[in-house]
Structure 1
Amino acid sequence: MSLLTNVMDHSLDDGYAEAAARRRTAGTSGMPKTLRAKLGLAGGLVLAALVVTVGAAQARVAAPVVAKERQELIDRIDRETRTADKLESGVDGLRDDVSARQRAALRQSGGSDRADLVGVLSGATAVHGPGVKLVVNDAKEASSGGSGDPRETSGFSDTGRVRDRDMQRVVNGLWQSGAEAVSINGQRLTALSAIRAAGEAVLVDNKPLVPPYTVLAVGDGDKLSTGFRNSPDGVYLHTLEDSYGIRATISTESDLRLPAAPSVIVRTAQPSTEKGTS
């Protein structure tokens, strides 16, 4: 209680009190005494007020111009976005037309059954059937835990993110385990598909995908699931789960539906007309 009483009675430091007493004794204070000093102080205050007033007025005058320029920029972005969407819709329509013509040409050249089989194997035809659903997602938090780096030659930093090389191994493992058709986030994969990275994004056929990555693989569900888990690529994915917190779940499905690939145009390979010797 004595300490609290002392603090309340002497809330102002003794040094401040002594300085104030000295100024009173000397007859001085912080305010100017002469007329010139008073006029100087008044002029300084007027100048400061003038600067603040002019600045506020300029900001008020410029505000509508800035708002107009911002709105014009937003409108331009909206127009360009609509144009891009229209072009993309046109490209999708042309791709569908090309795919239909390709399927018709295949039927004319080799019969309906052979054309359907070629379309399924090439990815030009939408398919459905039993298989597995594998969902791969980034770690909840970036971590540096784990020993025994499975990305031995990738050069990727350990951030707990799923990388393009990880998805490459997952897809290759599914193909090796007996998958007949594979898609990632609705993107059908073919022999011409490329899975690569652009910064932190994973691209499939130059289209960026957002995690979680849902991989659908058509095939014998039980055999496909067991084969993938026991394959080197399945072990690789399990190591990523244990070492980096990457999340993965696999389940068998009775009926999966995979879309057709947007384009299966071959530009380099040509059919061989030579017959093999027996």
Structure 2
Amino acid sequence: MCGMPQQHPVRSSPRRLARPDASMSLLTNVMDHSLDDGYAEAAARKRAQGQSGLPKTLRAKLGLAAGLVLAALVVTVGAAQARIAAPVVAKEREELIDRIDKESDSADRLEGQVDSLRTDVGNKQREALRKHGGEQGELVGMLSGAIPVHGPGVKLVVDDAKSAQSGTGGPRESADFSDTGRVRDRDMQRVVNGLWESGAEAVSINGQRLTALSAIRAAGDAILVDNKPLVPPYTVLAVGDGQRLSTRFQNSSDGLYLHALTENFGIRNSISTQDDVKIPAAPSVIVRTAQPRAEQKGTS
């Protein structure tokens, strides 16, 4: 019986088990090598050479000290420059003050000359009126504002409202009224015209005599009378029959207008009769003359 050769069983080599994290090689590499190789090599070289570097705290202190030294240097340089420039600035300031004082003195002298010339002109005008006007000269001088006058009359004080504020705009701009509480030039125009119409013979505002050629205008919130600025309260003096003048003015349309300003916008006013009102002459009166035209003879 032929027997088949006996074969030894083949033993298979055991299979190597895969790592559980084999599929996460990138993450594993990052975890195993948290420091870049280049940085690691540089750190190793420094350790080998004994160059471990300064501690962060010491570096911070050194930086702070350097900053303080720089700041002290800047302050020192600035103070030195200020000490150097101080005498120059003081000298320029003194020179400027001297110039202001000199110009102020010059302006005062010129103003005095103007006042003197105005007085001289007024005296000559009054003398001319008395010389050429005869019995009517004084009346003409009074009506023209060339001579001072006094006599019974009224005193009317007009002032801004207590809560007056600067500015423009509002209903008054389009309807002859204002909601700002300030007295305007047109208000004083109506007051003065109302006094003239009520029988006033002479009128002044804050000592400024009004004539037939006087103008009451505004420059911002200021009121100008013949280009002279006035400030509130505005004191209006009028020569005339005191009681009659007061009654007629308050019952006139202009007096009612002033009353409406008080009721609606708080503008303050008071009127009283006076036994003796003194009104100065106008600073300057423009003298104008007229001559009759020669009659032309007709031709036949």
Give 1:213 shift. 0.6
Give the match for residue 179 of structure 2.
158
Name 1:262's counterpart in structure 2: 283
Q: 1:249 to 1:275 in 2, by over 3 A?
A: farther
Match of 2:138 in 1: 116
Secondary structure of the corresponding residue to residue 33 of structure 1: helix
Q: Which residue of 214, 221, 226 maps to 1:193?
A: 214
1:204: how far off? 0.5
Give SS of 2:154's match.
strand
Question: Which stretch has the larger CA shift, 251-260 or 89-98?
Answer: 89-98
1:67-126: CA deviations, max 9, x gaps?
333333233222222211211111111111112212222222231x21111100000000
Give the Cα–Cα distance (whole angstroms) in 2 for the partners of residues 143 and 201 of structure 1: 13
Matched, 1:33 2:54: no
Percent of residue pairs bearing the same amino acid type: 72
In 1, Cα distance between the equivalents of 2:213 and 2:72? Answer: 71
- Verify: 1:271 aligned to 2:290, yes or no: yes
Does the Cα contact within 8 Å between 1:138 and 1:247 map onto a contact in 2? yes
TM-score (norm 2): 0.73
CA deviation after TM superposition for structure 1 residue 153, in Å: 4.9
1:256-278, Cα deviation, whole Å (9 max, x unpaired): 11110011114xx54242599xx
Q: Which amino acid aligns with 2:154?
A: V
Match runs of 1:110-259 below 5 Å = 110-111=133-134, 113-142=135-164, 152-153=174-175, 158-259=179-280
Contact 2:201 2:240 in 1 (8 A): yes
Contact 2:165 2:182 in 1 (8 A): no
User: Structure 1, unaligned stretches of length 5 or more?
Assistant: 1-30
**Aligned partners of 1:110, 1:157: CA distance in 2, in Å?**
46
Say if 1:157 and 1:110 are closer, same or farther in 2 by CA, change over 3 A.
closer
Q: Work out whether residues 127 and 257 of structure 1, in 8 Å CA contact, stay in contact via their aligned partners in 2.
A: yes
> 1:33 deviation in Å?
2.9
Shift of 1:53: 2.1
CA apart distance, 1:60: 3.6
Corresponding residue for 1:56? 79
Alignment partners' CA distance in 2, 1:208 and 1:61: 46
CA distance in 1 between counterparts of 2:240 and 2:205 reads 15
Matched residue type, 2:138:
D
Letter in 2 for 1:51: V
Provide the C-alpha distance between the structure 1 equivalents of 2:191 and 2:258, rounded to a whole number of angstroms: 7
Q: How has the CA–CA distance of structure 1 residues 211 and 252 changed in structure 2, closer, same or farther, with 3 Å as cutoff?
A: same
Q: 1:221 to 1:150 in 2, by over 3 A?
A: farther
Which residue number corresponds to residue 42 of structure 1? 65
SS in structure 1 at match of 2:249: helix
Instruction: Quickly say closer, same or farther: Cα 1:213–1:56, change in 2 above 3 A.
Output: same
- Is the Cα–Cα contact under 8 Å of residues 131 and 219 in structure 1 kept in the other structure? yes
Alpha-carbon contact 1:124-1:261 (below 8 Å) kept: yes
Aligned residues: 238
Pick closer, same or farther for the CA change 1:74–1:210 going to 2, 3 Å: farther
Distance 2:65 2:171 in 1: 73
Whichever residue aligns with residue 173 of structure 1, its letter is G
Q: CA deviation at 1:37?
A: 4.7
SS at match of 2:193: helix
User: CA separation of 1:129/1:197 partners in 2, compared to 1, >3 Å: closer, same or farther?
Assistant: same
